[in-house]
């Protein structure tokens, strides 16, 4: 009789357990908290109060694992927004035109998403869930993990035998220590600091805008030597908006009422501040600071057979990039593929961790590239060191290369083909290796498209534009 034990009952753990239920005779999901009874934040998930979106690649993976889940989320009030067709985005290079690319995101509270997934994944009884149970360590040796030591509801430790143990305990994972305790090799780790902090608040939206508003993203500017500041506003279920303000070192968003509003008003455009002023605050402003990109290279170590690590426990990127949940779903889908190919036997373990790492590679690469560039711009350095996939610096582009990149960056604001490539990569539905060379040639040799003015950008969304005209008229009348 085969048994799999999954440590951590968040999204990554629940999806891994669901996959394993199709291959192991018994699956035990070990969760340190107790699940909330409704779509509310989970106590052991510090980031649960903040913005969460499921990007297109993750949504597809989730539906492949649990068919109908995306429809269930939308039925319960989640919102689907095409990128940039249903999103007002002010990038560092200008406003995006309203283009439909096939890339999208789904926005809702983390509590709702977790509840819907748990209901569909665990409702059938194929997974035994141990709540209020703390994982203490692994059993076995450097060759083979044989189980895990746990404490259930404060009781003395007990050993649970397992043919496969999966660590899905997130950023606070103790796997490197647990492996060292049974004699396994050290795990190489790389951290890339972001200098980023953010603060989030929920709002009751005005009735006329609650459901029709686009997603709004104000990306930080690129002024050297100054903190980078930005904001997002996403519609979520029950007629609410979730607003997140971001800032790098020296420009962290405050958490007091007046400071939060003033920070939003100081951004490159006042649209988020204006919407906040018309909405009703719900609860307090919640800060978040643990945004470091951290990767543990379990795939490079000689791991004991019978053990694997998924989700943020292995690769945790700055949450502002909105990839964590999607990478967890893609990793679970890859786990299912590996189990279908190898079963629960010895051949599974040789390449499992490398296969799981491949699913996180795109997200890691993008996050490290963008965050190190932002940090360099804030510092005002003449040379910005861009990090590679391991956090190692890459050569800064020369003046000609910077000019080409600037033209391409501005071109994607209005080119349907370049925008589709860009958002396909950002939403994990494209590997980013295929370039539309004919479109690039046209952009580099032709006359640039004019950038949208503020009024033209907002005017692309009639309900938002009408509300803003009314508000401005009232303010001046």
Per the document, the length of the chain is 477
Task: Output the average pLDDT for the chain.
Answer: 91
Superfamily of the domain at 3-45+111-190+293-366: FAD/NAD(P)-binding domain (3.50.50.60)
CA dihedral 135, 137, 141, 147 (to 10 degrees): -20
Whether the link from the prior residue into 148 is cis, omega within 30° of 0, is no
Q: Where in the chain is the domain with CATH 3.30.70?
A: 195-288
- pLDDT score, position 470: 87
Q: Is pLDDT above 70 for 378? A: no
pLDDT digits (tens, 9 = 90+) for 223-241: 777 899 999 999 999 999 9
Could you give the CA distance from residue 145 to residue 139 in angstroms, rounded to a whole number? 6
Global pTM reads 0.91
Residue 374: pLDDT band with limits 50, 70, 90: low
- The token duo for 439 is 């479109």
pLDDT digits (tens, 9 = 90+) for 292-314: 999 999 999 999 999 999 999 99
- pLDDT score, position 318: 92
Q: Where in the chain is the domain with CATH 3.50.50.60?
A: 3-45+111-190+293-366
If we measure between CA atoms, which residue out of 47, 118, 39, 109 comes closest to residue 78?
109
The better pLDDT of the pair 402, 125 is held by: 125
Could you give the CA distance from residue 320 to residue 196 in angstroms, rounded to a whole number? 9
- pLDDT score, position 188: 97
CATH no. for 195-288: 3.30.70
In Å, how far are 55, 242, 262, 272, 313 from 200, measured between CA atoms? Answer: 20, 7, 14, 13, 24
């Amino acid at each position: 009789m085969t048994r799999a034990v999954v440590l951590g009952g968040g999204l990554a753990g629940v999806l891994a357990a669901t996959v394993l239920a199709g291959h192991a005779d018994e699956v035990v999901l070990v969760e340190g908290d107790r699940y909330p009874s409704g779509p509310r934040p989970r106590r052991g998930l510090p980031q649960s109060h903040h913005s969460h979106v499921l990007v297109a690649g993750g949504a597809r993976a989730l539906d492949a694992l649990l068919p109908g889940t995306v429809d269930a989320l939308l039925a319960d009030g989640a919102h689907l927004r095409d990128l940039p067709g249903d999103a007002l985005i002010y990038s560092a290079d200008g406003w995006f035109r309203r283009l439909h690319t096939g890339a999208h995101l789904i926005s809702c509270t983390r509590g709702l998403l977790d509840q819907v997934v748990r209901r569909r994944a665990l409702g059938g009884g194929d997974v035994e869930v141990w709540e209020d149970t703390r994982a203490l360590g692994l059993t076995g040796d450097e060759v083979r993990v044989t189980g895990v030591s746990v404490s259930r509801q404060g009781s003395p430790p007990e050993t649970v035998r397992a043919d496969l143990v999966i660590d899905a305990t997130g950023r606070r994972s103790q796997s490197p220590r647990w492996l060292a305790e049974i004699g396994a090799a050290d795990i190489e780790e790389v951290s890339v600091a972001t200098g980023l902090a953010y603060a989030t608040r929920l709002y009751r939206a005005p009735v006329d805008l609650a459901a029709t508003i686009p997603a709004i993203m104000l990306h930080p500017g690129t002024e050297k030597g100054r903190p980078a500041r930005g904001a997002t506003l996403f519609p979520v279920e029950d007629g609410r908006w979730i607003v997140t303000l971001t800032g790098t070192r020296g420009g962290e968003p405050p958490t007091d009422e007046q400071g939060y509003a003033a920070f939003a008003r100081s951004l490159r455009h006042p649209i988020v501040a204006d919407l906040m002023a018309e909405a009703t605050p719900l609860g307090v402003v919640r800060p978040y600071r643990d945004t470091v990109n951290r990767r543990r290279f379990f795939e490079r170590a000689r791991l004991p057979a019978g053990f694997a690590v998924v989700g943020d426990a292995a690769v945790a990127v700055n949450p502002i990039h909105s990839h964590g949940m999607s990478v967890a779903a893609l990793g679970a889908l890859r786990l299912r593929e590996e189990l279908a190919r190898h079963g629960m036997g010895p051949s599974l373990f040789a390449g499992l961790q490398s296969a799981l790492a491949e699913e996180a590679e795109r997200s890691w690469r993008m996050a490290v590239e963008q965050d190190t560039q932002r940090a360099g711009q804030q510092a005002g350095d003449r040379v910005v060191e861009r990090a590679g996939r391991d956090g190692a610096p890459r050569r800064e582009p020369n003046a000609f290369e910077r000019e080409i990149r600037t033209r391409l960056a501005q071109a994607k604001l209005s080119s349907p083909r370049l925008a589709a490539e860009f958002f396909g990569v950002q939403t994990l539905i494209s590997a980013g290796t295929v370039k539309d060379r004919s479109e690039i040639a046209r952009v580099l040799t032709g006359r640039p498209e004019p950038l949208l003015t503020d009024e033209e950008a907002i005017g692309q969304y009639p309900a938002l534009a009408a509300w803003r005209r009314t508000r401005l008229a009232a303010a001046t009348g």
